[in-house]
Amino acid sequence: MTDAQWNDLLEVIDGKILKPLPAGFIIDSPWLPNWNGNAILDYFASDSVWFESNWNAVRTFPDCLFLPGFWSEYGMCSEPSAFGSVSVFPPDGFPHAKPCLRSIEEADVLKTPDPALDGLAPLILNRLRRHDEKLAEHGHRVRFSVSRGPLNVATHLMGVTEFLIAMKTDADRTHRLLRTITHYLCGWHDLQRKTLPSIDGILILDDIIGFIGEGDFLEFGFPYFKELFQRDVRVRFLHNDARCEASLSHLPGMGVNLFNMAFDTDLDELKAATRNRVAMLGNIPPRDVLANGTPEDIRKSVRNLIGGLKDRSRVILSCGGGMPPGVTTANINAFLQAVREEG
């Protein structure tokens, strides 16, 4: 992200209405490698493929905010690998982490990994460190430390069903597990910022907070997310494209000031529920419109989104969730053209 883009992001979060309205997307391995003509495994394995894919995106769409920007990651394996999960990397498919905890009882002996040494984290950080000077030469800097959230990591270690059952059957050990995961994630974010002083934002991705009710969120989610977001950074960004009713009104108290949600929610309602204290990144349908629709479908969806806004402050136009697989250059250009015309 360039200095000008970063400053635009800060102004949106502070409540200034930019003209035209800004547009931005979360981009990572589900979309970027294939868009650039590469296999997903090559994107993970090759520094040059990773850099060129990200550089081609920012060069092709210079007026678009790409978040977090030059994201170094290994899909859903990134954090669970530190706890001993086996990472599975298909040649051109999405990686996944195999559960490594047989039961919630193993939370009693689970140790906090070292982000500087364990799992894929050292490789993630080393890629960013090695490219930091090159990014600066191209006018870009790393702005965000990034991780999945504690509930998301817990489900990869145990399995979704097993973790949700544990919340109801063994609350003490569930908290012990989340405490260990959060301790690791705090250290991981702090290490990223220590290594790359240009970082002034934090991005946490966690859809599992959309799988639980408000009471469970307040007990098992809120305190751990609040601890993570209480870092001395200017942008505190949460992605959750599952349901958000249970957590929405608590985002400001959690420290969140930028939120990426699902597509089937109304931005004005989200802004009202958060008392317009949180900037919204969204939210046309990602798959059915942005990926599978025609350019005219996209322009219509963007027009409807902008036309329906009662308040244009603290809005960055995007899709609901991250950039999905299969979105073409033509469709992104149609989105951006509609934003310029309508926003």
Q: Does 328 fall in a domain?
A: no
Expressed as residue numbers, the domain containing 159 is: 3-321
Total structural domains in the chain? 1
User: Tell me, what's the pLDDT at 311?
Assistant: 94
Q: Is 149 part of any domain? A: yes
Q: Cα–Cα distance between 132 and 98 in angstroms, integer?
A: 32
* pLDDT tens digit sequence for 41-53: 999 999 999 999 9
pLDDT value of residue 293: 98
- Give a yes or no: residue 198 inside a domain: yes
In a domain, 286, yes or no: yes
Structural domain contains residue 337: no
Closest CA to 223 of 167, 275, 151: 151
Measured distance CA(118)–CA(22) in Å, rounded: 38
Instruction: Give the pLDDT confidence score for residue 305 in this predicted structure.
Output: 97
Domain assignment present for 327: no
In-domain check, residue 74: yes
Residue 250: the pLDDT is: 98
Whether residue 334 lies inside any domain: the answer is: no
Backbone φ and ψ of 222, nearest 5°: -50, -50
The reported pLDDT for the residue numbered 91 is 95
For the stretch 311-324, pLDDT in tens is 999 999 999 999 99
* SS3 assignment for the chain: CCHHHHHHHHHHHHCCCCCCCCEEEECCCCCHHHHCCCCHHHHHHCHHHHHHHHHHHHHHCCCCEEECCCCCCECECCCHHHHCCCEECCCCCCCEECCCCCCHHHHHCCCCCCCCCCCCHHHHHHHHHHHHHHHHHCCCCCCEEEEECHHHHHHHHHCHHHHHHHHHHCHHHHHHHHHHHHHHHHHHHHHHHHHCCCCCEEEEECCHHHCCCHHHHHHHCHHHHHHHHCCCCCEEEEECCCCCCCCHHHHHHHCCCEEECCCCCCHHHHHHHCCCCCEEEEEECHHHHHHCCCHHHHHHHHHHHHHCCCCCCCEEEEECCCCCCCCCHHHHHHHHHHHHHHC
This prediction has a pTM of: 0.97
CATH code at position 41: 3.20.20.210
Residue-by-residue pLDDT tens, the chain, 343 positions? 999 999 999 999 999 999 999 999 999 999 999 999 999 999 999 999 999 999 999 999 999 999 999 999 999 999 999 999 999 999 999 999 999 999 999 999 999 999 999 999 999 999 999 999 999 999 999 999 999 999 999 999 999 999 999 999 999 999 999 999 999 999 999 999 999 999 999 999 999 999 999 999 999 999 999 999 999 999 999 999 999 999 999 999 999 999 999 999 999 999 999 999 999 999 999 999 999 999 999 999 999 999 999 999 999 999 999 999 999 999 999 999 999 998 7
